[in-house]
Amino acid sequence: MKKLVSLLLIAVLLFTAVSALAYSKDEPITIKFWHTRGSGAQYETLKGQINAFNSTVGAEKGIIVEETYLGGYSEIMNQLYLATTSGEQPVVCVNSTTRYPMLFDDDILVDMMPYAKASGFDIHNVFYSMYNVVGDDEETMYCLPYIKSTPVIYYNKTIADAKGIVVPEAPTIAELEEICKKAYTVNANGEVEIWGFESLNDFTYYQGAFLWQLGEELWDEEGNTPALSGSSMLKVLSDWRRWIDEGWCRPFDSTNASATMQEMLYQGKLFAFWASCASMANISKYMAEAGQELGVVNFPTYDPEKPIVPIGGGSIMIIKPGNTEEQYAAGWELINFLMSDEMVAFNSVNSGYLPVTISVAENDTMKAFWEEKPIFKVAYDQLPNGIDQAYPDFPYNSELKNNIQSVVSLLIQEGSITPEEAVQQIKDDNAHMFPQGY
């Protein structure tokens, strides 16, 4: 009983401390926000959110947010560790959930749960698949989903209509092969006019989902790797290599792979690819400017009974070292604002990223947008089948991904090894991660 009373007293004190923090309009506090959204629709959306905060909640409570684009997730990660020792750290930052566990383990992050409880934030309004990461549960909260995505299949509907190709809303891998082969076009000189398909080399995001569909994930909660001890890794790599050998699937480029792939779609030189829904706003815009109609359908599956899709992208968090309680509280005010249905809808409508709250489905702005542009709802409708890239927690996540992608380059781009050799090389390169063996 004494322990329970003590816990309740601590909770009351925390609530009181959080509630008592306030900022003066005459002497506002300024906080830094580091992010990955550096150009195009992404940056315009980010600026819109920050301007909205600074002119409303920020103006009312005396908080000014200064945003800084730091590059990708790896750049933010590197700069963050340097900044926390030099005193140049941000208060709020965005990073991927695959890198987040390192920040959590190193005690870099603030537990936001006391602030969430004090402000009435409902953690159950966040999709569990996005919240199911180490450190986040009913009692503690170190990150929240912010710019999250699932992959979808983008295709040139103008080409599909011209060739009489009907693309299923939720294609299997076998159906995807069939439609892409139909779209594949070679002229009389044997030159490819329209490639059927292309996949980027982002293994744990795309192909990693196929391993789950086949029942053998890349790693499990016990730290084993069913995909390498079983047959699913070989199956996925063999199919991808076969697509290249059959001619209708284009290998990814060594540099600017994503930009080149998208440009070929706009030009009618590539029929389809899978990519993050976060690209949808820009892809939709550039397809329209090119006079092409864009089609979007679900990410494909090997098993119709397991339409599993990966959830990737960035989460938002408060940085602990070098910052004060007042800065923590100000950082939470920003995060709480960004997690409101109005801002979640604004973020999704203008960027293509997933809405991250359940209640946003009833938001008038969100509903009107989906009715006008139903292709943007495809990724959201996949969420019941989503698994976050960071689940389950695995300390070698990023290293394993990089090692596999190096081998994939040899297999798919160079064609210098066989799928069997690729699997063996992946085992050899990553043996130190799995001391219990395969």
Tokens matching residue 168: 């299923």
Of 363, 380, 397, the last residue of a domain is: 380
Residue 371 falls within a domain, yes or no? yes
Are 366 and 398 within one domain? no
Q: What is the CATH number of the domain that holds 228?
A: 3.40.190.10
Query: Which has the closest alpha carbon to 94: 141, 41, 30, 46?
Result: 46
Of 380, 395, 416, the last residue of a domain is: 380
Are 216 and 255 within one domain? yes
Are 203 and 296 within one domain? yes
Check whether 292 has a pLDDT greater than 80. Answer: yes
Residue 6 falls within a domain, yes or no? no
Per-residue pLDDT at 179? 98
Are 173 and 216 within one domain? yes
Are 266 and 323 within one domain? no
Q: What is the pTM of this model?
A: 0.87
Res. 34 pLDDT band, cuts 50 70 90: very high
Residue 57 falls within a domain, yes or no? yes
**Contacts of range 166-173, beta carbons closer than 8 Å, 24 or more positions apart:** 167/295, 167/297, 168/297, 169/297, 169/298, 170/297, 170/298, 170/300, 170/301, 170/304, 170/307, 171/297, 171/298, 171/300, 172/300, 172/301, 172/302, 172/304, 173/210, 173/239, 173/300, 173/301, 173/302
Per-residue pLDDT at 23? 63
Are 258 and 360 within one domain? no
Are 61 and 111 within one domain? yes
CA distances from 79 to 42, 146, 255, 291, 328 (A): 21, 20, 24, 42, 20
- Beta carbons of 7 and 106 less than 8 angstroms apart: no
Residue 226 falls within a domain, yes or no? yes
Are 301 and 406 within one domain? yes
| pLDDT 10s digits, 68-127 | 999 999 999 999 999 988 999 999 999 998 888 899 999 999 999 999 999 999 999 998
| pLDDT 10s digits, 49-74 | 999 999 999 999 999 999 999 999 99
Check whether 24 has a pLDDT greater than 80. Answer: no
Tokens matching residue 185: 């076009």
N- to C-terminal Cα separation, the chain: 49
> What mean pLDDT is predicted for residues 24-47?
92
Are 141 and 227 within one domain? no
Check whether 298 has a pLDDT greater than 70. Answer: yes
Res. 15 pLDDT band, cuts 50 70 90: very low
- Range with the poorest average pLDDT among 12-16, 126-130, 189-193, 351-355: 12-16
Average predicted confidence (pLDDT) for the chain: 92
Are 361 and 305 within one domain? no
Domain limits for position 335: 22-148+313-380
Check whether 381 has a pLDDT greater than 70. Answer: yes
Residue 2 falls within a domain, yes or no? no
Q: How many domains does the chain have?
A: 2
Are 305 and 422 within one domain? yes
Residue 236 falls within a domain, yes or no? yes
Q: Where are the beta strands (DSSP E) in 43-89?
A: 63-69
Are 179 and 299 within one domain? yes
Of 380, 406, 421, the last residue of a domain is: 380
